[in-house]
Structures are given as C-alpha cells and as structure tokens.
Amino acid sequence: MALSGGLRCCQRIFSWIPVVIITSVVLWSYYAYVFELCLFTLTNTLEKVAYLLVFHVCFVMFCWTYWKSIFTPPTPPCKKFQLSYTDKERYELEERPEVQKQILMDIAKRLPVFTRAASGAIRFCDRCQVIKPDRCHHCSVCETCVLKMDHHCPWVNNCVGFSNYKFFLLFLVYSMLYCVYIAATVFQYFIKFWVGELMNGPAKFHVLFLMFVALMFFVSLMFLFGYHCWLVSKNRSTLEAFSAPVFQGGPDRNGFNVGFRRNLQQVFGEEKRLWFIPVFTSLGDGHFFPMRSRNESRNPLLASEEQWEEEGGSDEETSGVQRDPSVTVEIES
Ligand SMILES: [Zn+2]
Ligand SMILES: [Zn+2]
C-alpha cells in the first residue's frame, strides 16, 4: 500500500518533467532574445523597442495559454451521471448481471446519452461508477472520467478535454507565432554572424540556437496544429479520430459533425472577438453535444429543459433527457 503510494508520488513528480523542459527552453529563449539579441546586439533604438514590444505580446499570450492548458482541471461528469447511493447499493448487492444491466438501463433512460459501447451497450465506467456522457472517456493517468476527452498530453501534464481544448489549441497557435516571430527577426542576425559581420561572442551562439530551436519547434507544432485544425473542422476528438463514436445505428465518424461553422463555434464560442483570448467560451456543458442526425426540434437541450426540473434536476446542469426504450446496457471494464 505504502509502496504503491510512493510509486504514485514518484510518477506524479516525473510527470512534470516535460513541462519543466518546455519552461526551461522558453525561459532561455526569453533571455537569449531580450538580452543577447535585443539589448546586447541591436544598435538601432527604434528597432530594439519594436522588436521587444511585439516579442512581449507573443510571449505573454504564449505563457497565458500554456498556463491555462496546464492548470485548467479536466471536468468529470456531473452528479446526474453518478449512481445514487441507493442505486449503487442495489447495483452492488445484485448478483445477476441482467438485473444489474436493468438497473443501469433505468438510470440511462433519464440521461441524454446517445453513444454506445462497441457492442451497442450503454457506456459505464466501473472505476468512477458513472454512466459515461457522450464523448466522455476514462483517463487512466488522471484516474477520472473526463468530459469530451481528447487526449492526455504529457507536454501540459494534463488531460485535454472539454474544459481546456480551446486553451490547448490557442497554446499551439501562440507557440507557433512565438517561434515564427523569433525565427523571422533573428534571421538577418543569424546571417550576419554567419558571414562575420558581427563580432564573435556568446551572443553568436545564442542567436544561432534561437534560430534552430525556433524552427525545430515550429515544424513539429505545425503538424500537430494542422491535425487539430482538421479535427475541429470535422468536430472530432483525437480519440474519436482513432475509434469512431458508436450510436444506436452503429459507428459514425461524423456523428457530431454539424457543419464547419457550427463545429468551430462548438469549441470557440459564438463571439468571434473572444476566439483568440484564452477564456472559456466553448458551447454547452460538456454532457450533451449537437448531433448531425438530430435536428434542432429534437435537440433534448431545447426540448426537455422542463423535464429536468420536473424530475428534480438541480440547477447546476442543463442537459436534456432522452427516453429510449431500445437501450441496452453493458459494463465497460
Ligand atoms: Zn472513469
Ligand atoms: Zn488525463
């Protein structure tokens, strides 16, 4: 017991290593750019001020989005998806699997759950004892179910999901901008050092490495960002790109694809002026997502808000209710 506790503690400490590496590289790049390039190498004051001003805008936006990606906790499903004390007791005391399934089926009927396990059964997390909302998955690193889980990212040491997907995308945008800006402004000094127009000294090596590191990060980020742009345009999570969500009619890769503009709004919100600011503007509450096959009139978010209240739904969530007699239940391990 103590050993596994110790191991978990070590694991938790080691999981911060990628974040420490990124932070160290960024801090070094700050020193190299601001001090070695702008303050020690540049001679034109106007150029110096302009370079530093734009650099700091990129730097602040990068740090802000990185911070938000790391420290925005993943959201677990709300209480309505958890088994109540009586349901849990009934479920655990019951030995017949069919009756256990029936218990879960009754609970699932009151919830806006449209996706199924590969077998066509309702998705249930045994560890968290919750019925998984659509697009929710259990993260074995975070040890919790995460709403609209995308992936667990070691570079931010956090789960990327409903609560921070926008921040993660903006983090990619501002990291690329940071790299491009550094590479573009450093380039002429990189050439000057190379042809011997500027005197030798430590600045030469800092400028040299700034150029290489910025380009290296930019190229790797470009592929990741390109992939996520494609995912957002199709309204898929990374997990869904690998394994299509299963609906009652079977798997459907485009199940949540509601058109390019609405797909973008799902992640970035309806107010365009907030799209590039790392504040939470994603639509919905992470428990229900509009689906391609369902038109607005059948959207349970709009259709059954009253039903929530009638059934004693608390004020914290506004998901809808689905009545689905053909539901089947199976426990996912
Ligand atoms: Zn779970
Ligand atoms: Zn995780």
In 10 A of CB 268, how many CB atoms? 20
Closest ligand to C-alpha of residue 145 is 1
Catalytic residue chosen out of the listed positions 38, 125, 153, 159: 153
Closest ligand to C-alpha of residue 76 is 1
- Rounded to the nearest angstrom, the distance between the alpha carbon of 230 and the centre of ligand 1 is 28
Q: How confident is the model at residue 100 (pLDDT cuts 50, 70, 90)?
A: confident
- State the residue for tokens 């402004």: 185
| Residues near ligand 2 ion, CB 5 Å cutoff | 139, 141-142, 152, 159
pLDDT, tens digit (0-9, with 9 covering 90-100), for 178-222: 999 999 999 988 888 778 777 677 778 888 899 999 999 999 999
Alpha-carbon dihedral sign for residues 216, 219, 225, 227: negative
pLDDT, tens digit (0-9, with 9 covering 90-100), for 115-168: 888 877 789 998 998 999 999 999 999 999 999 999 999 999 999 999 999 999
pLDDT at 274 > cutoff 60: yes
- Rounded to the nearest angstrom, the distance between the alpha carbon of 236 and the centre of ligand 1 is 20
Q: Which stretch of DSSP H or E encloses residue 138?
A: strand 137-139
pLDDT at 289: 92
- Rounded to the nearest angstrom, the distance between the alpha carbon of 225 and the centre of ligand 1 is 28
What is this structure's pTM?
0.84
User: Is-catalytic flag, 10?
Assistant: no
pLDDT at 30: 96
3-class DSSP assignment, residue 290: coil
Closest ligand to C-alpha of residue 74 is 2
- Rounded to the nearest angstrom, the distance between the alpha carbon of 135 and the centre of ligand 1 is 12
3-class DSSP assignment, residue 125: strand
Closest ligand to C-alpha of residue 149 is 2
Q: How confident is the model at residue 319 (pLDDT cuts 50, 70, 90)?
A: very low
- Rounded to the nearest angstrom, the distance between the alpha carbon of 332 and the centre of ligand 2 is 18
R_g over Cα of the chain:
25
187/207 Cα distance (integer angstroms): 9
- State the residue for tokens 């806006």: 112
3-class DSSP assignment, residue 130: strand
- Rounded to the nearest angstrom, the distance between the alpha carbon of 190 and the centre of ligand 1 is 51
- Rounded to the nearest angstrom, the distance between the alpha carbon of 137 and the centre of ligand 2 is 10
CA 129 to chain CA mean position, Å:
23
281/94 Cα distance (integer angstroms): 43
- Rounded to the nearest angstrom, the distance between the alpha carbon of 147 and the centre of ligand 2 is 11
Backbone φ and ψ of 150, nearest 5°: -95, -60
pLDDT, tens digit (0-9, with 9 covering 90-100), for 65-88: 999 999 999 999 998 898 888 888
- State the residue for tokens 């650099």: 55
Alpha helices by DSSP H, listed for the chain, are 2-14, 17-31, 45-71, 85-93, 97-109, 165-195, 202-234, 238-242, 260-268, 300-303, 305-310
